[in-house]
Amino acid sequence: VLNLLVCNLTEEEHYLDGSTSTAWFLPTMFAIFVLINDENIHWFHLVIDMDKNNLILLDSNQSDFRREMRRIQVRKVALFLKEMLMDRSFYDFSTTAKPDIAGYSLIEPDRIGKQLPASNGSGIWVANWMKDYDWDDEYDQLNVRTLLRITTACRMRLAIDLVLHECNEMRDDVIKRAKKNWNAIQRHRDKIMKYIFG
């Protein structure tokens, strides 16, 4: 689900920019969103701010026990990206400065929304953050929701958004089948009501 959401958001960015490029370019204002899984039980979010040279660790369930390990995971990702971006194929000119992502400052905002304890909703939290984040906000002032209650409705809303997204090639077929199923349910309901009330 998270991979699909990332693909959809990336497609939207390309659509809004009118870009049809298949290459990865690093403009002067650029951020990389990285989803990181901690021991297969918790998702947290790393934003690599290429403009401000910051690594922003967004964690909906900060843990003193796991905090240092999550920081290490962030540094590993930064080091990997630094090594990858050393490749000349990313640059048009040999004089282009290569970003030292591994040397970026690590920022851990405290005033971000938190998931409720034992909600098992870190993936949903990360997805909502990517969808709803306003680029005019400051990372240390992300206090839109103090606690995010992960409910079936939250999960269903995300699923519906993904299914109805314009990038979903099966969207029209899904809508057609959903309408057909709804009409069948309505006819069945009408029969029951007619039987009960004559």
List the pLDDT tens digit at each of the 198 positions of the chain.
666 676 677 677 666 555 554 433 334 446 788 888 888 888 888 888 888 889 988 888 778 889 999 999 999 999 999 998 888 887 777 777 888 999 999 988 876 767 776 677 777 777 776 766 655 455 544 444 445 666 778 788 888 888 888 888 899 999 999 999 999 999 999 999 888 887
Q: Are 87 and 99 in contact (CB under 8 A)?
A: no
Cβ contacts of 161 within 8 Å, gap of 6 or more: 131
Q: Is 105 helix (H, G, I), strand (E, B) or coil?
A: strand
The span from the CA of 180 to the CA of 186, in Å, is 10
Confidence at residue 69, expressed as pLDDT on a 0 to 100 scale: 94
Model confidence, pTM: 0.62
Q: What pLDDT is stored for residue 103 in this prediction?
A: 94
Cα separation of 69 and 10, whole Å? 29
Q: Is 55:78 a contact under the CB 8 Å cutoff?
A: yes
